[in-house]
């Protein structure tokens, strides 16, 4: 299992979600951290990755031991400009 680290902006994004949405995002993130499962793609034009969890997107970077969550939000045209 990889350690999950939240940037302050990602922690604020997570706190702003409803309890149901927060649980969905946390479940998807833990599933990826433990099993490596999820819809992940490398971002184009910048460093990092995107994890799709339903209508939410998690922008993150990772190494062998940790996942650094940068941004969490709904899929919009501005999602990938964040972080």
Taking only the tens place, the pLDDT of each residue in 48-60 is 999 999 999 999 9
Q: Give the torsion through C-alpha atoms of 37, 19, 59, 55, to 10 deg.
A: 80
Residues near 2 by Cβ (< 8 Å), separated by ≥ 6?
Answer: 33, 62, 64, 65, 66, 67
Residues near 23 by Cβ (< 8 Å), separated by ≥ 6?
Answer: none
CATH number for the domain formed by residue range(s) 3-75: 3.30.2310.20
State the pTM of this model.
0.85
The per-residue pLDDT for range 16-54, each reduced to its tens digit, is 999 999 999 999 999 999 999 999 999 998 899 999 999
Question: CA distances (Å), 9 to each of 39, 42, 57, 81, 83, in order?
Answer: 22, 20, 14, 14, 8
């Amino acid at each position: 299992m990889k350690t999950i680290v939240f940037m302050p902006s990602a922690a604020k994004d997570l706190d702003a979600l409803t309890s149901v949405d927060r649980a969905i995002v946390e479940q998807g993130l833990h599933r990826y951290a433990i099993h490596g499962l999820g819809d992940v793609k490398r971002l184009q034009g910048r460093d990092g990755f995107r994890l799709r969890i339903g209508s939410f997107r998690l922008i993150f970077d990772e190494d062998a031991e940790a996942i650094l969550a940068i941004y969490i939000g709904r899929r919009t045209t501005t999602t990938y400009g964040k972080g």
